[in-house]
Copies of this chain bind each other. A is one copy, B any other.
Amino acid sequence: MKLTSKGRYAVMALVDLARFDNINPVSLRDISLRQGISLDYLEQIFSKLKKNHIVKSIRGNQGGYVLSKNPTDIKLTNIFHAVDEKVKTVQCKKDSKKGCNGKATKCITHNLWDELENHINSFFEKKSLEDLIQNRKENRL
């Protein structure tokens, strides 16, 4: 049970972006250098973040990315959803005969996995980008 680097990088990059986007758009190149993430990989990630309306892009020279919402309104769950970082605790397929088919004959531990999924997702729904920036500031003082 582990977090993928896509999800981790997305959050890191957005925290970085949030710190610098007051004045100018931030280029992926800068984020790449500061965070040590490959530029090509960042482009993949930001393409998804853009599709999900978390960031906006400004093309051309001196271009870059800016947040498209207030950091308070960007929850972890939005970010993870954008980059396909899903929480999957069950693998019960609808057409399986053995075990759980999602209907009548639930596998004996099905409730447990549902609980676990909710437990994790509640964490993601609570945390906003703003929380992370604040947290960082506190640690810096």
List residues of chain A with CB under 8 Å of any chain B CB: 1-5, 7-8, 11-12, 15-16, 35-36, 85-91, 98-99, 107-109, 111-113, 115-116, 119-120, 123, 127, 132, 135-136, 139
Contact = CB atoms under 8 A, between A and B. Distances in A.
A13 to B, nearest CB: 10
A139 B111 contact: yes
Contacts of A36: 98-99
28 contacts: A1-B1, A1-B2, A1-B4, A1-B85, A1-B87, A1-B120, A2-B87, A2-B88, A3-B88, A3-B89, A3-B90, A3-B113, A3-B116, A5-B91, A8-B89, A11-B109, A11-B112, A12-B107, A15-B109, A16-B108, A35-B107, A108-B132, A112-B127, A112-B132, A112-B135, A115-B123, A119-B120, A119-B123
A124 B121 CA distance: 15
Contacts of A98: 35-36
Q: How many copies does the complex hold?
A: 2
A2 B86 contact: yes
Contacts of A119: 119-120, 123
Given A119-B123, A123-B119, A109 B8 contact: yes
Contacts of A132: 108-109, 112
